[in-house]
Amino acid sequence: MKPLGWFGRFVLVLFLNAGVWASPVHLRCEYRVNPLGVDKAAPQLSWQSDSLTPNWKQAGYQILVASSESGLSGKADVWDSGRVDSSISVGIRYGGPKLLAAKRYFWKVRVWDAKGEASESAEPSWWEMGLLDRADWKAQWIDRPNPEFEADRAAMRWIWLPGQDALAAAPKSKADFRATISLTGKPQDAVLFLVARGDYRATVNGLPVASKRERWNSFDRKDISGFLLAGKNTVEVNMTAPDVPSDRPGSEAKVVKAALADLIKITQADGKAMRVVTGGAWESRANDQAAWQPARVVGDLDDARLGMRPGALPQSAAYLRKSFALAKAVKSARLFVTALGSYRIYLNGAQVGDDVLTPEFTDTKRSTSTRKEGAPA
């Protein structure tokens, strides 16, 4: 037989001693490596085995959690699960005392095989808790006050077809509305705000720009800057009144409420604002008619008879900033942040983290958080 080379001898020794190569590896908390901002009161812990022995199986495990890395070398001062006879190594919930907000916890795991041989993870892992309760937050909600809020909403009205009662419209009846705008040049910016009691489809100069189903009860915002041209422009909205709700008694199911509210806000080349709102400037026609007539004004935006208040107009992205000075070098830094909307955080001009579409799923009623780790530049 040909003698084994050094690599063959290494593989043979490794195979013969494979039983000792069963250390827990790839430790995960909530299926992430050393995560920040964990918002679960009892995080789930998982690991894998690096055993090379065929059909090796875990017979038991022990999880140790400590408040410091050194605390894992002796008796864990937070939680010791004790030996648990189980082959499970995925999604095991922490079972110790209540975890503290914004605190880092270190952990490791020890496993046993069917022969009773034990091994443990070589390096401790950790996780940091997020802000768990409302009392943990010291921050207040902030936003950018819109100085044009009142001017944008002031003249907007609900409109419907002339000669018809918007509070008693025929279910699924159709109506068209349009506004004609003359511009001396291409605008700097143009935005269309729409809300309807029903379905709608909007076009600008014949090109589709927006559509919504009837259950959308707040303003939609569409940038139409690229659709407007110097000269005559036409904005048209084709609308369908709601259908009868399935839970309404037959005696009340003959009519529905239907109406449209709209603002076209244009910033002209000289910076001046131009507003075209639903009201007398809009024309309308029933879907089966050819002639256009002035639309009928139903009421203001907060008219309770229509059963919906569309709220504030959605705004473009806002910049919010805070400057502060530090007298000492930074050892570590944490940022807890969430938003009612998507956000990006920058520190001294550099984006913090590489996440997109933040926040991830966030229960803003419970004030959970996305947490970022910062380090001095």
Q: pLDDT by residue (tens digit) across 336-354? A: 888 888 899 999 999 998 8
pLDDT, tens digit (0-9, with 9 covering 90-100), for 241-297: 998 876 655 545 589 999 999 999 999 888 899 999 998 789 999 977 889 999 999
**What are the pLDDT digits (tens) for 54-96?**
888 999 999 999 999 999 987 899 999 999 999 999 999 999 9
pLDDT tens figures, 205-238: 999 999 987 667 889 999 999 999 999 999 999 9
Average pLDDT over residues 39-44: 94
pLDDT at 362 over 70: no
Would you state the CATH architecture of domain 6-130?
Sandwich (2.60)
Write down the pLDDT at residue 176: 96
User: What pLDDT does 326 receive?
Assistant: 95
Superfamily name with CATH number, domain 149-306: Galactose-binding domain-like (2.60.120.260)
Domain boundaries, the chain: 6-130, 137-144+320-377, 149-306
Whole-Å CA distances, 55 to 18, 76, 253: 12, 32, 67
Q: For the chain, what is the largest distance between any 2 Cα atoms, rounded to a whole number of angstroms?
A: 104
CA–CA separation, 198 vs 237, rounded Å?
12
Give the residue from 213, 200, 68, 41 showing the smallest Cα distance to 130: 41
pTM attached to this predicted model: 0.65
What are the Cα distances from residue 239, in Å, to 284, 296, 297? Answer: 11, 15, 16
b/e string for 345-362 if b means 16 or more Cβ within 10 A? Answer: beeeeeebeeeeebbeeb
How many of the other CB atoms lie within 10 Å of CB of 233?
A: 21
User: How many Å from the N-terminal Cα to the C-terminal Cα in the chain?
Assistant: 62
pLDDT of 25 reads 93
| Reduced 3-state DSSP string for the chain | CCCCCHHHHHHHHHHHCHHHCCCEEEEEECCECCCCCECCCCCEEEEEECCCCCCCCEEEEEEEEECCCHHHCCCCCCEECCCECCCCCCCEECCCCCCCCCCEEEEEEEEEECCCCEEECCCCEEEEECCCCHHHCCCCCCCCCCCCHHHHHHCCEEEECCCCCHHHECCCCEEEEEEEEEECCCCCEEEEEEEECCEEEEEECCEEEEEECCCCCCCEEEECHHHCCCEEEEEEEEEECCCCCCCCCHHHCCCECCCEEEEEEEECCCCCEEEEECCCCCEEEECCCCCCEECEEEEECCCHHHCCCCCCCCCCCCCCCCCCCCCCCCCCEEEEECCCCCCCCEECCEECCCCCCCCCCCCCCCCCCEEEEECCC
Contact 296, 160 (CB under 8 A): yes
Give mean pLDDT, residues 34-61. 91
- Pick the more confident residue, 3 or 152: 152
> Residue 19: pLDDT band by 50, 70, 90 thresholds?
very low
pLDDT in the model for residue 69: 93
pLDDT for res 260: 95
pLDDT (tens digit per residue) in 108-126: 999 999 889 999 998 889 9
